[in-house]
Structure 1
């Protein structure tokens, strides 16, 4: 098992994008359920592994700036919001809403390209899923990532009509 955990970390760290659990299982000759268990073990050991709709991602150490921003807008403005971040050179890591019954609800997004925006919007439309912002009257939080201070300032300027608060 120890060797398999190391192999999973190597595969995820060398990957340029998400790796599906099914693919990990095939590469390592185990079941998908074993991969789910191994990922849980790795998470408890402190490895920052995220499950996304496209597979597993290991957070890599990089030089970047992250800020949490509180925003408010309608469902019709989701595309515009995501487009502004990406066109300014940033990445939308996640979305968080505060729910009166369940507390904080977090959804991993990882939207960094125009293609990511298009895929997300297509999935939102085809799935008929309710966006999290609908649970909170349009108010939600995003973790935004930028390669440097200048790009972060450009992102915040682009989002000024939606911004409620910026946290470090």
Structure 2
């Protein structure tokens, strides 16, 4: 395969992301373009600097197509649980038809740390947990003794209400 150069490669990457039905890993984009994964990371940063709505998630890169006809509701929730309960928390959220957009922790030195998750279904959660296990990574909530925030999103307020209700019943929701 011919190596794609500079602007041609970035245009090709944009086209791939816009037409994808799900996330594409940096490794897959690198193979497609016949470049290193680091070149892809740099390309994604350049594209984001041009205000392209590209999101780096734990599953890969996503181009956020804003459908003007679909209204999504978002809510920020505060949760606390152990690392062993993380899978149940994530599944509880996605099983309500809610997308788990990110995780946010308050670090004593760095301040607020936000990491994109973009988990919308059980397969997304399974893939996320597999990556955590394969890399032996810790959850960000380990920095804050289990306390963290999530931004959750759904097409209806009722789904967000249901997710909160289920999390509250399981003791994962912190309320003030």
Compute the TM-score of the two structures, normalised by the length of structure 2.
0.81
State the alpha-carbon separation in 2 of the partners of residues 118 and 48 from structure 1: 25
Cα deviation, residue 111, structure 1? 1.6
More strand by share: 1
Task: Verify: 1:162 aligned to 2:172, yes or no.
Answer: yes
Pairs aligned (count): 166
Q: Decide whether aligned partners of structure 1 residues 120 and 22 sit closer, same or farther in structure 2, where only a CA change above 3 A counts.
A: closer
Compute the TM-score of the two structures, normalised by the length of structure 1.
0.84
Unmatched segments (≥5 aa) in structure 1: none
State the alpha-carbon separation in 1 of the partners of residues 37 and 126 from structure 2: 29
Task: Verify: 1:50 aligned to 2:55, yes or no.
Answer: yes
Cα deviation, residue 9, structure 1? 1.8
Deviations 1:69-91 (A, max 9, x none): 11112222212211111111111
Deviations 1:90-120 (A, max 9, x none): 1111111111012122222222211222333
Unmatched segments (≥5 aa) in structure 2: 1-5
State the alpha-carbon separation in 2 of the partners of residues 30 and 135 from structure 1: 35
TM-align CA RMSD: 2.3
Moved more, 100-109 or 84-93: 100-109
State the alpha-carbon separation in 1 of the partners of residues 88 and 113 from structure 2: 22
Q: Decide whether aligned partners of structure 1 residues 40 and 87 sit closer, same or farther in structure 2, where only a CA change above 3 A counts.
A: same
State the alpha-carbon separation in 2 of the partners of residues 126 and 36 from structure 1: 21
SS at match of 1:47: coil
